[in-house]
């Protein structure tokens, strides 16, 4: 399995090919469309992340010491961001997830999604991903 740092580096490299925001967003929208669908039974109210303008559902399981995330959103750009996050965080060891930072979001020109406006739930999403990691980390100890 690739390390989180490696994946982040790959994403930064991919995005560096784009000339402008249009291309970046079109790519994100494509990513959003290709996000594997979350199992319908996990799309429950208790799995909704509060504080996002679009609805976001996140679910996680521990398999072979790796956290496997699945997620969905009703907004396509949000789905694109989720796809990026899952590419970085999913299938990693909880302790690695907890150490990871989000600076790659800034580096790929999506800084606006890191802003503390509650409208943009990216920070809430990352927080939720890490909550799962904490929970599973405890389980592993």
Q: Which residues carry out catalysis?
A: 52
The reply on whether position 47 binds another protein by CB under 8 A is: no
The reply on whether position 74 binds another protein by CB under 8 A is: yes
Site track 115-134 with another protein (rule: CB under 8 A), x = hit: xxxxxx--------------
- Residue number with CB closer to another protein (79 or 93): 79
Taking the C-alpha atoms of residue 9 and residue 26, their distance in angstroms, rounded to an integer, is: 20
Question: Which range in 8-16, 70-78, 97-105, 126-134 contacts another protein by CB under 8 A?
Answer: 70-78
Taking the C-alpha atoms of residue 114 and residue 34, their distance in angstroms, rounded to an integer, is: 23
96 C-beta neighbours (distance < 10 Å), count: 16
- Residue number with CB closer to another protein (22 or 37): 22
111 neighbors 81 (Cβ within 8 angstroms) = no
14 to 11, 17, 139: CA distances (angstroms) = 5, 6, 35
For binding to another protein (CB under 8 A), which residues are involved?
21-22, 25-26, 29, 50, 53-55, 74-78, 112, 115-120
């Amino acid at each position: 399995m690739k390390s989180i740092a490696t994946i982040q580096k790959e994403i930064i490299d991919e995005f560096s090919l784009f000339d402008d925001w249009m291309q970046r967003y079109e790519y994100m929208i494509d990513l959003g469309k290709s996000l594997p669908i979350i199992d319908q039974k996990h799309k429950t109210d208790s799995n909704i992340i509060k504080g996002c303008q679009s609805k976001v559902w996140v679910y996680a399981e521990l398999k072979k010491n790796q956290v496997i995330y699945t997620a969905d959103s009703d907004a396509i750009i949000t789905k694109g961001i989720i796809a990026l996050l899952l590419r970085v965080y999913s299938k990693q060891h909880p302790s690695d997830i907890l150490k990871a930072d989000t600076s790659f979001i800034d580096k790929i020109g999506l800084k606006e999604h890191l802003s503390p406006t509650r409208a943009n739930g990216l920070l809430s999403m990352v927080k939720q991903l890490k909550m799962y990691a904490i929970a599973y980390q405890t389980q592993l100890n």
